[in-house]
Chain A
């Protein structure tokens, strides 16, 4: 029945306060079935609290949401039967082995013992954990723990999966592995709600993104729209001599579309996403006699998205880590 509904998640005006703090302050979300939806924001923005409400772990103070057609409060049990959660803290039991974790979940989800065992073996093989199957999870590396965590979430294939910061703290290689797994999940038709602090992660995986700050959705769109709204990319230039910055700014203004003076007196940037145009602009600078210490062409960072959308940097929000209460 969930397949009939075009929306896997439909949330209106979700509010959750902890004491004086309004962790989530009126969040609306509409997530299409079969898509990956990214919720992007800094620590403490309300991402985890939103996920915990949608996964029926927290009861919203106000607002309502339907997950796969079921109300998260009045039909919480039905929701739990269709979703799985991979939390910010790895949601596996550290004091058990990888195999035992998967058998445990299989049994809890209603598989018979032999089926649960076979399923655990199949998943351990698929996720490259067969060699570590008999080891306690507390001795796993961060990447292995994440893979096990995701494997645990698909012991019985869920219709919707919540992934809360799946790659925070992982090295680039492990991060790529997790991304590959997420892509496989999507290819098989699982809807994913992905919380992340990284714009490039949302960009790599998500079809739609909501940017969240102070418990509110402040922007929404496809990764392309979002990046376009912050100037898609930028050429960053550092000068050897800060005295030459006005001259450099004039050149870049002409070669590219506008220029931005950085707080650093020797640095400036210009919106640009095309490598050829960037190379041209750098050549123009050289021809004009501007001496360059270095330059780079980059995607806008989460900081830049935040700066563009809110006028303040993401870092300011990171004072208080959002933890389950």
Chain B
């Protein structure tokens, strides 16, 4: 069959080189779970590198929120824009990072429509590594969104008492919580049919949970039923803890609640996502 090289019009692949390539690799030992997860994180980073526009939604939206809320409502809610900025900046940091978590679900749903997922699922790797890896990659997006908010705040006159270490601690706490929450949206991303459906359902959930919190207003100003809800809403606790970390008066109890919530969300939704992904 392969005896008539003269008739081949195939400059595409060099047969001898293909054969050499085939014979030249001994099978390496399996990659560790950490290594494969990090490799998938690297894949997420490459996508940001190739399509930097996708960073627009994590940067422009928070900027708009900060400007709008500070100058539109600042005077009315807190008496002055400066005072309101102190209150709202950690809150908006929380909100914009949490909004970004919805995109993890959207991205996973988009991924599933492509053939490459079949290849990943047929590889001898730790099964959740594509998911864990892409969430690690997303964490970098969360970090970018958070940094944009803080930098903008500083430009507008925000001076956190706890300084840079406080800001870093608050950012880290928010990102850990976002990592836990994003498993909810990856589950959603595997259950719903289209990226748009994930986006709509995701925001339908994240909007009320974020707005019915102490991100924008002090709970004391609310009707009592609503106040009760706002006080137990983990987003409120996260916002309070972030404010505390940035101001240097955080309560260990709040931080513990945030970490426990993140752990609980991960414990429930990470295995669920992995199960669904295996069958998708």
Which residues of chain A have a CB within 8 Å of any CB of chain B?
A: 52, 55-57, 77, 80-81, 83-85, 87-97, 100, 104-105, 107-112, 115, 119, 122-123, 125-128, 136, 143-144, 147, 152, 154-157, 173-174, 176-177, 180-181, 183-185, 187-188, 190, 204, 324-325
Contacts and interface: CB of A to CB of B under 8 A. Distances in A.
A115 B39 CA distance: 15
B12 A152 contact: no
Interface of B: 1-2, 8-15, 17-25, 27-31, 35-36, 39, 42-43, 46-47, 50-51, 114-116, 118-125, 280
B122 A188 contact: no
A85 B122 contact: yes
B28 A181 contact: no
Contacts of A80: 122-124
Contact of B124 (A81, A93, A144, A183): A81
Contact of A95 (B30, B47, B118): B47
A204 B12 CA distance: 19
Nearest to A89: B115
A93 B116 contact: yes
Contact of B20 (A52, A126, A155, A190): A126
- Which 9 A/B pairs are nearest by Cβ-Cβ distance? A89-B115, A126-B17, A91-B119, A81-B124, A110-B28, A177-B12, A110-B31, A188-B22, A128-B12
A84 B122 contact: yes
Given A80-B123, A104-B39, A154 B10 contact: no
Contacts of A57: 118, 121-122
Contacts of A183: 1-2, 15
A184 B123 contact: no
B18 A184 contact: yes
A95 B51 contact: yes
Contacts of B46: 95-96, 100
Contacts of A97: 50
B10 A94 contact: no
A174 B9 CA distance: 10
Contacts of B10: 173, 176-177, 180
B38 to A, nearest CB: 9
A184 B19 contact: yes
Contacts of B120: 108
A127 B18 contact: yes
Given A77-B124, A125-B14, A324-B118, A95 B50 contact: yes
B245 to A, nearest CB: 36
A180 B123 contact: no
Nearest to B36: A108
Contacts of B50: 95-97, 136
Contacts of B2: 180, 183, 187
Contacts of B116: 91-94
11 contacts: A55-B118, A56-B122, A90-B115, A95-B47, A95-B51, A96-B50, A108-B120, A109-B28, A157-B23, A173-B10, A180-B15
B31 A108 contact: yes
A87 B119 contact: yes
A323 B1 CA distance: 33
